[in-house]
Amino acid sequence: MDPKPRVAFVLGGGGVLGAHEVGMLRALQEHGVRPDVVVGTSIGALNGAFVAAEPATAVERLTGLWAEDSVRDVFGARVWARLWTLARSGTHLHSNEQLRRMLDELLPVRTFEEMAVPFQCVAAGIETAMAHWFTGGPLIPAMLASSAAPGLLPPVRIGDRHYFDGGLVDSIPVGRAAMLGATTIYVLHVGRIERDLTPPRRPWEVGMVAFEIARRHRFFEEMASLPDGLDVHVLPAGGGAQKAGIDLAQMRYRNMSGIRAHIERAYQASLGYLKERA
């Protein structure tokens, strides 16, 4: 058995707010922290795959990816095209082909087995109504399944099963990292857990608040039930604690204007956190 501590990076879901995780990764890299295992959900699965594939170049790759038009192009269809997709499918506004092409072009590996660091991602099994962890085989289909946000992207068929976004079943999978034997865990999230919730005031906030309660409950329960002796660091996203309520940025998923600010804010906050605990 390896006597050295096993370091895990846990990357949560959150759409375009996932840019926070890039800032956290930059802070970890500058602080000399390298993962032994990476687990991710939804946008965290996409970010995490780049980390696990080539840890030394991941921050540079992800910073460029988020800064370019690639992310915007995934959801860049005009209104009429989105409505046409919805009319034809009956279930979603966007095809996942643009995302598939982007991953095929930019990811340096094609399978879980080729990863430089062990990597796992989770999706919600539709037929089973359970979490399904992808640990081997083709990488891109698993990433598409983990990030298949209901209503935005189509469910992904792999074999004889269909999958939706992993955030539905395990939005910040810290428990998975502990199960894999990690002794030091760095939790990278999108900032929402730092904010108190407030009761919804508008119709579209009802579902968001309900989902947020469910995801936070799962996360806090997992944190409370972790085995003794684990060293767990929930990195700060920066600036979130002062703001209450629901962040509407997760609804404006095509608006990329705040990405650089998300990255920089999370970088500064996380770097300060790591320095304090050095």
**Please, are residues 191 and 270 in contact by the beta-carbon 8 Å criterion?**
no
The CA-based angle 277-270-189, given to 5 degrees, is: 120
| pTM of the predicted model as reported, rounded to 2 decimal places | 0.88
Give mean pLDDT, residues 144-154.
89
Q: Is the pLDDT of residue 273 over 60?
A: yes
CA distance 160 to 123: 15
Q: Is the pLDDT of residue 37 over 90?
A: yes
Give the per-residue pLDDT at 68. 66
Three-state secondary structure call for residue 115: coil
**Distance of alpha carbon 227 from the chain centroid:** 24
Q: What is the DSSP letter of 121?
A: E
Give mean pLDDT, residues 73-80.
52
Neighbours of 13 (CB within 10 A): 29
Give the per-residue pLDDT at 95. 75
CA distance 84 to 71: 21
Q: How many residues does the chain have?
A: 278
Q: Is the pLDDT of residue 270 over 90?
A: yes
CA distance 156 to 170: 17
Please report which confidence band the pLDDT of residue 186 belongs to, taking 50, 70 and 90 as the band edges: very high
109 Cβ neighbours under 8 A, 6+ residues apart:
53, 115, 139
Please report which confidence band the pLDDT of residue 244 belongs to, taking 50, 70 and 90 as the band edges: very low
**Please, are residues 219 and 171 in contact by the beta-carbon 8 Å criterion?**
yes
Residue with the bigger pLDDT between 101 and 71: it is 101
The CA-based angle 214-162-213, given to 5 degrees, is: 5
Residue with the bigger pLDDT between 83 and 27: it is 27
Give the per-residue pLDDT at 47. 96
Give mean pLDDT, residues 221-225.
94
Neighbours of 4 (CB within 10 A): 7
CA atoms within 13 A on the CB side of 265: 18
Query: In the structure encoding, which two tokens stand for residue 78, read together?
Result: 């005009």
User: Given phi > 0 = left and psi -120 to 50 = alpha, else beta, which region is 111?
Assistant: beta
Strand partners, 164: 124
Please report which confidence band the pLDDT of residue 146 belongs to, taking 50, 70 and 90 as the band edges: very high
**Please, are residues 164 and 126 in contact by the beta-carbon 8 Å criterion?**
yes
